[in-house]
Amino acid sequence: MPEEIRRIPPSSMEAEQSVLGAMLLSENCVLAAAEKLKEEDFYSKVHRRIWRAMADLAAINKPVDLVTVSERMGEGTALSTDEISYLSDLTEAVPSVRNIDHYIEIIREKSRLRKLIAAAAEIAEMGYQSEASAAEILNTASDLIYKIAQDSSDRSLVHLRQALLEGYESISKAAKSKDGLMGVSTGFPLMDKKLSGFQPTQLIVVAGRPGMGKSSFALNIAEHVAVKENRPVAMFSLEMSREQLGLRLLCTGAGVDSQNARTGRLTEQDFYALADAMVPLEGAPIYIDDTAIIGPGEMMAKIRRLKNQVGEIGLVIIDYLQLMTGSGRIENRQQEISSITRSLKVAAKELNVPIMLLSQLSRATEKRENKRPMLSDLRESGAIEQDADVVLFLHREDYYAESGAEPGKSSIIIAKQRSGPTGTIDVIWRGEQTKYMEVDFREEGA
């Protein structure tokens, strides 16, 4: 018989029996197991049935013992003598209830291995029979693996004392930092003051109509974080190539007109400025991925690999949401966008990194007399607003040829901040340098 047919999926009957037996003997064991295990973590169908009965009893705050479990399992169909005997024998199979955490971890480990095997088989099947492209299969594969890793995270209820200590540590770091920020400085002082920088675990949405300079704004921040703060930045550009991004960064750093650079109309002084700008940028920890078709699962896999190589990442930038693809079969684009933003929010939390997600606004702004963007203008999904910790709008008055608009006069609108104030910050758009700049310290309410 071929070896692959004889293979038995990873499991530990002894650990499963020990956990179930310990639950029959101790209420504390019931609570410990109910918190960390799920029905599918058990390999044996018999053990799954016993676990289901125990979990149901625990959920309605009833005792878990031989009598109550037998009664629960026997609802509808009486248990056989052998089944009752097996339940009774479980209590004899427990070496020590004090080792319950160890038994639980053995079951979880075997369950993870079975899920990995199942995921690998599903990926192989897609490769053989699916009509999807390799890129789409890669996205699905990344999502499958990421979900297994996510399910493996062991976070539980902690005493308030731990949360207080972590909060105090954040405040202490902010007090010791030169700029008094808890998060990553963006290079926009007034915005940093309101947001206290970009915080780890945050999903920051930067939205605007096409042509507002969202990519340039992201590059302005990326350059500051990497060059001034010396923190690694990962940038996923689904629209522009890495060559285009490099050109923009060079022109912005050198103060050279980007249109002249693209057409080759540069002076000798421009070349000197570009050479000078190259020095700090070429050593900056900015990492660019310009894959055109990519989903959140593949992105997160790449970020995790980068994190293993360079350590903590200061900022992740995604340009932009509407070009991303989800995984699996989803009924409509709105649900797909919702799935993507939810995945990115979870990823920001799991990876402990701020994720800046660029997004387009709907045409609703152009139909109103007042062109100032609102949260309802976020394109395709209310889930964007729901999942985002911070929502920033870029608004340029001269974009709409508003009467009396000063050339370049613009605003960064903090439309939402989950843990702080909203507001508007005046900036100037330097189109020839593709750069946003704060002009003064005047702020007005949103």
Instruction: Supply the residues annotated as catalytic.
Output: 239
Which token pair is 232?
A: 């690694």
Which token pair is 164?
A: 């207080």
Whether the CB-CB separation of 359 and 207 falls below 8 Å is answered with yes
What residues form DSSP beta bridges with 396?
410
Q: Are strands 435-444 and 423-430 parallel, antiparallel or unpaired?
A: antiparallel
3-state secondary structure of 133: coil
Q: How far apart are CA 251 and CA 220, in angstroms?
A: 11
Query: Is the Cα torsion angle 73, 75, 80, 84 positive or negative in sign?
Result: positive
Q: How far apart are CA 429 and CA 396, in angstroms?
A: 8
Whether the CB-CB separation of 355 and 318 falls below 8 Å is answered with yes
What residues form DSSP beta bridges with 394?
412
Residue 340: C-alpha distances to residues 206, 210, 287, 344 (Å): 16, 21, 22, 6
Neighbours of 271 (CB within 10 A): 12
